[in-house]
Structure 1
Amino acid sequence: MSDAVLVYGVLGLTLVGFVWGRFRYDLVALMALLGSVLLGLVPGEAAFLGFGHPAVITVAAVLVLSKGFERSGLVDIIAEQALKVGERLLLQLLVLTGTVLLLSAVMNNVGALALMLPVAMRLARAHDTSPSILLMPLAFGSLLGGLMTLIGTPPNIIVASYRGSLTGESFGMFSFSPVGVVVALVGLAFIVLLGWRLTPRRQGQASADELFDTANYLVELRLPEEAKACGWTLSELQRELGETVPVIGVIRDDKRRPGHAFLGALRAGDVLLVEGGPEEIKLLEDKAGLRLGAEPEEEEPAEASDDEAEPRGLAADDDEEKAATRKPSTEGLQLVEAVVRNDSMMVNRTVTQLRLHHQHGLHLVAVARDGARLKTRLREIRFQAGDVLLLQGDESGLAEALGTLGCLPLASRNLTLGQPRLLLMSLAIFALAIAAMLLDLLPAAVALSAAALASLLVGVLPLRDAYQAVDGPVIVLLGAMIPVGQALESSGGAALIAGALLTLGAQWPVVVTLVGLFALSMLLSNVINNAAAALLMAPIAASLANGFDASVDPFLMVVAVSASCAFLTPIGHQSNTLVLGPGGYRFGDYWRLGLPLSLLVLVVAIPMILLVWPL
């Protein structure tokens, strides 16, 4: 069996793994790499050279610099101005989408969206607008903005680096700008003037409570031993509260009893399933002593029975004192809404497996998925990317806990202006890096890595934040797939695919083949990570250029633009997934705006590429 056929088999299984989604894309990429090594397609000594590839280093440096911009206050200044746009919907769309478009040109596009998403939510709530009208345009704007510069999106970095390996000279920082700026501006105009009308309307999600529908959410409240409600019936509980709070059921010994049929007395350890929001939770905590407690699997071992505990003595008193110190304080606790990111450690795991309470100090109150609340028991839910969570935690550690878990807060965020010294320092460092790249003093990977290091040394960004900013799954994906992409080329597999395309397009102008390459790459980016799409399509583009005896530049530019235009599905790009839950979208909603936008990008990009990068 030829190496080309083996490479096709590995890539076919890899694509199936990406689309299936059972395993995260970085694990699928590692399996593809190791499979290629075992089949002799990638030399063992070269298996992990991809992790030192300039494209991987550049992506990591850009992620660190993006975090530095956030911490210095640069983005908050922009976001604060965006909140002043007023009630006009078109102006809101223009400012929000335009801002994220500009930010995405100089920082990671997912990071840019994450920073502007809370701003969009605040605008929607302040003006009683459905977030679904604003969020999809915002996500697509972040993708369009990445087209404008080398560092705007990983496909640009990959394509630039691949060109360097072919010709000895990579694309520069602004080589993508002539095409990318035009495509981005046309896309922005379409979204603001017409495209937003194609987004689905998800009503009743504008206010903080309505977004999460907290008034109708299933909340689990536990009776600790010291709770006032121990010994009360449900009727006595309602009488004490002074108002009716729906108790859906009572769980005791892992058995659920309907609330209307529960006539006995409540006792310590019971779990009440209550439909209520923050006000009802506080009422139950204050007047009945119930609290958002740990799941049974997370709790400490039960205390001894009365018979076993006698005589109590000093040891028992000590245990009681320790238990009191272990008990989490409810002072400073607040409710926050957050969305689960693609790379979150929560994906495919339950609240019990994550030990949210003991390890992160968070209580899970409710979960929404696809714009609707989940009524499954909280301990049984396996989280998915895009889920919106209602969490309660201590204000002092809430941000750190959400960052560790890989969640993006959606609640109204307090904009801070940072420190002027840090702001000026971060801008100066970034400007020096860009100048070094433009003057060919340093390669992009070295210049941007030096800028990231300088940001750490001068205190723009703490070291811990820098490590957290590096998107581990994306780095692993790139490092693992680069050798596999090289195997596609070295085995002759890319040339075979290019030859088939050349045969099909032999009777047509080259531009028709470019359109086919654009469409194929765009479709691929909608089902797998855009960086992986660029890695796979770049060798095919180069082989096509050789077959036509044409310049490789327009073919590579086609791959760069098309791989970043994943507008058709929520799984094609992390930006799309991030707005899935908060916007209440469904899987099939994206193509309504995404399909006409994709066709528009194709129609605008191909002539511009041929104008700037002639055959």
Structure 2
Amino acid sequence: MADSTLVFLILGLTLAAFSWGRFRYDLVAVAALLACTLTGLVPAGEAFLGFGHPAVITVAAVLVLSRGFERSGLVDVIAEQTLKVGEQLVWQVLVLTGTVLVLSAVMNNVGALALMLPVAMRMARTHERPPSLLLMPLAFGSLLGGLTTLIGTPPNIIISSYRASQTGEAFGMFAFSPVGVGVALAGLVFIVLLGWRLTPRREGQASADELFDTAHYLIEMRVEEDSKALGWSLRELQAALEEPVPVLAVVRAETRRAGHAFMGKLKVGDILLIEAGPEEMKLLEDKAGLRLGAEPEGAADDETSEKAGEEARDAEGEQHPLSATAAGRDAGDGVEADGGRKASRRLDPEGLQLVEAVVRNDSMMIHRTVVQLRLLNQHGLHLVAVARDGARLKQRLRDIRFRAGDVLLLQGDEGGLGESLAILGCLPLASRNLTLGQPRLLALSLGIFALAIAAMLLDWLPASVALSAAALASLLAGVLPLREAYQAIDGSVIVLLGAMLPVGQALDTSGGAALIADQMLAMGRDWPVMATLAGLFALSMLLSNVINNAAAALLMAPIAASLARGFDTSLDPFLMVVAVSASCAFLTPIGHQSNTLVMGPGGYRFGDYWKLGLPLSLVVMMTAIPLILWVWPL
């Protein structure tokens, strides 16, 4: 079998696996690399040289610097000003999308989106408007901003390194700016004036209470003298129930302890604050003997209490609006004490450390259940609820296999929530309190980055060395702790790049890229070069919507080089077409992590993206190709 046929077969299977999404893209990339090595397409001694490639080192350094910007308070300063925008939706779209566009130019675009996403959610909730109107423009703005500089997005770094391998000279830091800025501005104008009107309006998603309906599921259950659960630990209670019903807090003698931190035995009079529906409530009564309501039996109006319990039990799977407040009111709003005063014993759920978080594409939670992850034992987190596609899932929590984009409602220690979410690969959505950082760290972070840019512009150092030195300087200066630096480096992206670089080279050395280019040349023989560039743009853009944009750039770069040789023209315009088009994954939620991250919080469906994405893609193409030919003539 010819080498070109082998590489097409391996790439076909790789693309199918990328599109299927059953396995993480880094695992698929490693499998493709090993297949190319075992078939002789990649020499065994060169199989892992891609992990030392300048593009991989540059991406890792950019991720560290991005986290440094966040920790120093630079982004918080910008976000604080963003929240001051008025009530007009057009202005909100402009400010949010424009801000993330600018941030994406100097930091990883997923990182920029992750920082602005809570700001957009807070803005939507403050103005009682569906976040679906803001989040898709925000995600697309992060992609557009990455086009403007070398470090804005991995495809630019890849294309720059590929040019260096072909011509001996890489693209500079701002070589992408003349085209990238023009395309980004055209996209921004389109989104602000017309595009946001094409986004779906998902009503009822503006507040966390509406998304999860949490208040309607916080109930109070009391341990009585005849309760089976008397003397049990919470772990024994869960074992008896055979169902992970979240116990959010245990109240004893007016002292409340978080459920995950309560290690004692249950006593008479203990009140359990539980997140449960009608089925779980009946389970708690039948198997543990717990009683609904915070007051002792006889202290409340028996008729009212009984009615509330019967209504909850008879709901038969329907979501019953019984809150902790309602339970306290209906099951005993107060007790007649001495002097005729009523002493309220209702629990206030606001003191609980609850947080919303979205599952990232690279999360360790994907395709796993809460039992397999051991959220409580290993991470100190209670899973309270899961929302998918804008609606709360009603199936049992233990049976849910998490997907990228799922929105989770979690409870845990306030101090450890951030670290636990980072380990799990979740992005917190709760409105965070903006911390402006320290002025010294902010100045250091900006100064170090400016020196790295100067070194690149003056050709003192290549991008990989300059940015790595900047990352090291940030660590030594205390801008970023070493542990956070390692957490900032997205291992899945590094593995993807390191594995796919040799595969992309195999496409070139096997003659596969030349065969594809010859077919495109044959079809476009009687057409101007601009038409072929448009075809290359469309092919690369479609590919980036089903696989990672970095992988798309790696595969399309050799084809672009073969086309340039076939037309006997400059290589630069063809590479620029690939750089822009590979970052324009606007049609699907799986083409880029930014799109996936907003899917759950925005309540989007798979088919929502093309409604804004298709016209935006056409605007980008019609703007990019003339600009490329003007800035980088044939």
In structure 2, give the amino acid aligned to 1:116: M
Deviation at 1:333, TM superposition (A): 4.0
Tell me if 1:192 matches 2:180: no
| Structure 1 partner of 2:279 | none
Deviation at 1:260, TM superposition (A): 3.2
Distance in 2 (CA, whole Å) between partners of 1:445 and 1:612 is 25
Question: Cα gap change, 1:421/1:512 in structure 2, threshold over 3 Å: closer, same or farther?
Answer: same
C-alpha RMSD over aligned residues: 2.6
Deviation at 1:342, TM superposition (A): 0.5
| Structure 2 partner of 1:83 | 83
Three-state SS of the structure 2 residue aligned to 1:558 is: helix
Identity of aligned residues (%): 75
| Structure 2 partner of 1:94 | 94
Equivalent residues in 2 for 1:5-24 (5 A)? 5-24=5-24
Question: Cα gap change, 1:246/1:386 in structure 2, threshold over 3 Å: closer, same or farther?
Answer: farther
CA deviation map 1:557-598 (0-9, x unaligned): 000000000000000000000000000000000000000000
TM-score (norm 1): 0.86
Three-state SS of the structure 1 residue aligned to 2:151 is: helix
Residue 389 of structure 2: which of 331, 352, 370 is its match?
370
| Structure 2 partner of 1:293 | none
Contact 2:507 2:513 in 1 (8 A): yes
Three-state SS of the structure 2 residue aligned to 1:365 is: strand
| Structure 2 partner of 1:50 | 50
Question: Cα gap change, 1:174/1:277 in structure 2, threshold over 3 Å: closer, same or farther?
Answer: farther
Question: Cα gap change, 1:607/1:89 in structure 2, threshold over 3 Å: closer, same or farther?
Answer: same
Distance in 1 (CA, whole Å) between partners of 2:376 and 2:369 is 12
In structure 2, give the amino acid aligned to 1:47: A
Deviates more, 1:226-235 or 1:370-379: 226-235
| Structure 2 partner of 1:70 | 70
Distance in 1 (CA, whole Å) between partners of 2:489 and 2:442 is 21
Residue 402 of structure 1: which of 393, 417, 421 is its match?
421
| Structure 1 partner of 2:143 | 143
| Structure 1 partner of 2:531 | 512
Runs of at least 5 residues in structure 1 that lack an aligned partner in the other structure: 250-257, 263-271, 289-329
Contact 1:218 1:276 in 2 (8 A): no
| Structure 1 partner of 2:238 | none
Distance in 1 (CA, whole Å) between partners of 2:294 and 2:123 is 43
Distance in 2 (CA, whole Å) between partners of 1:192 and 1:373 is 31
| Structure 2 partner of 1:353 | 372
| Structure 1 partner of 2:224 | none
Runs of at least 5 residues in structure 2 that lack an aligned partner in the other structure: 220-244, 251-264, 272-287, 334-348
Please list every run of at least 4 consecutive aligned residues from structure 1 whose deviation after the TM superposition is greater than 2 angstroms.
211-249, 258-262, 272-284, 330-333
In structure 1, give the amino acid aligned to 2:45: E
Contact 1:64 1:470 in 2 (8 A): yes
CA deviation map 1:131-182 (0-9, x unaligned): 0000000000000000000000000000000000000000000000000000
Deviation at 1:211, TM superposition (A): 3.4
Contact 1:120 1:131 in 2 (8 A): yes
Contact 1:205 1:213 in 2 (8 A): no
Three-state SS of the structure 2 residue aligned to 1:581 is: helix
Distance in 2 (CA, whole Å) between partners of 1:332 and 1:197 is 38
Equivalent residues in 2 for 1:134-213 (5 A)? 134-213=134-213
Contact 2:50 2:498 in 1 (8 A): yes
| Structure 1 partner of 2:579 | 560
Contact 2:496 2:551 in 1 (8 A): yes
Three-state SS of the structure 2 residue aligned to 1:579 is: helix
Contact 1:132 1:199 in 2 (8 A): yes
Distance in 2 (CA, whole Å) between partners of 1:24 and 1:247 is 46
CA deviation map 1:328-351 (0-9, x unaligned): xx9974111110000111111110
Three-state SS of the structure 2 residue aligned to 1:338 is: strand
Residue 616 of structure 2: which of 594, 597, 614 is its match?
597
Question: Cα gap change, 1:114/1:355 in structure 2, threshold over 3 Å: closer, same or farther?
Answer: same
| Structure 2 partner of 1:312 | none
Three-state SS of the structure 2 residue aligned to 1:347 is: coil
In structure 2, give the amino acid aligned to 1:168: G
Three-state SS of the structure 1 residue aligned to 2:383 is: strand
Residue 515 of structure 2: which of 496, 508, 517 is its match?
496
CA deviation map 1:223-280 (0-9, x unaligned): 974364764555998977877797799xxxxxxxx93399xxxxxxxxx998568845
Equivalent residues in 2 for 1:355-504 (5 A)? 355-504=374-523
| Structure 2 partner of 1:307 | none
Tell me if 1:546 matches 2:565: yes
Contact 1:218 1:375 in 2 (8 A): no
Distance in 2 (CA, whole Å) between partners of 1:530 and 1:232 is 54
Contact 2:131 2:601 in 1 (8 A): yes
Question: Cα gap change, 1:124/1:47 in structure 2, threshold over 3 Å: closer, same or farther?
Answer: same
| Structure 2 partner of 1:259 | 313
Deviates more, 1:592-601 or 1:392-401: 392-401
In structure 2, give the amino acid aligned to 1:574: Q
CA deviation map 1:161-214 (0-9, x unaligned): 000000000000000000000000010011011100000000112123123332
Distance in 2 (CA, whole Å) between partners of 1:233 and 1:438 is 71
Distance in 1 (CA, whole Å) between partners of 2:315 and 2:205 is 34
Contact 1:214 1:277 in 2 (8 A): no
| Structure 2 partner of 1:525 | 544
Contact 2:164 2:170 in 1 (8 A): yes
Deviation at 1:107, TM superposition (A): 0.1
Distance in 1 (CA, whole Å) between partners of 2:300 and 2:212 is 24
Distance in 1 (CA, whole Å) between partners of 2:585 and 2:427 is 21
In structure 2, give the amino acid aligned to 1:370: D
Three-state SS of the structure 1 residue aligned to 2:602 is: coil
TM-score (norm 2): 0.84
Question: Cα gap change, 1:572/1:485 in structure 2, threshold over 3 Å: closer, same or farther?
Answer: same
Three-state SS of the structure 2 residue aligned to 1:368 is: strand
| Structure 2 partner of 1:226 | 267
Distance in 2 (CA, whole Å) between partners of 1:547 and 1:559 is 17
Distance in 2 (CA, whole Å) between partners of 1:287 and 1:175 is 70
CA deviation map 1:49-105 (0-9, x unaligned): 000000000000000000000000000000000000021111111110000000000
Contact 1:36 1:42 in 2 (8 A): yes
Distance in 2 (CA, whole Å) between partners of 1:495 and 1:247 is 73
Contact 1:332 1:394 in 2 (8 A): no
Question: Cα gap change, 1:227/1:123 in structure 2, threshold over 3 Å: closer, same or farther?
Answer: farther
Three-state SS of the structure 2 residue aligned to 1:339 is: strand
Distance in 1 (CA, whole Å) between partners of 2:41 and 2:183 is 38
| Structure 1 partner of 2:607 | 588
Distance in 1 (CA, whole Å) between partners of 2:361 and 2:93 is 25
Contact 1:160 1:171 in 2 (8 A): yes
CA deviation map 1:434-484 (0-9, x unaligned): 000000000000000000000000000000000000000000000000000
Contact 1:131 1:206 in 2 (8 A): yes
Distance in 2 (CA, whole Å) between partners of 1:445 and 1:282 is 60
Distance in 1 (CA, whole Å) between partners of 2:530 and 2:315 is 72
Distance in 1 (CA, whole Å) between partners of 2:326 and 2:582 is 47
Three-state SS of the structure 1 residue aligned to 2:353 is: strand
Contact 2:217 2:324 in 1 (8 A): no
Question: Cα gap change, 1:235/1:182 in structure 2, threshold over 3 Å: closer, same or farther?
Answer: closer
Distance in 2 (CA, whole Å) between partners of 1:183 and 1:394 is 45
In structure 1, give the amino acid aligned to 2:507: L
Q: How many residues align?
A: 556
Distance in 2 (CA, whole Å) between partners of 1:470 and 1:597 is 31
Contact 1:55 1:157 in 2 (8 A): yes
Distance in 2 (CA, whole Å) between partners of 1:261 and 1:200 is 33
Question: Cα gap change, 1:549/1:261 in structure 2, threshold over 3 Å: closer, same or farther?
Answer: closer
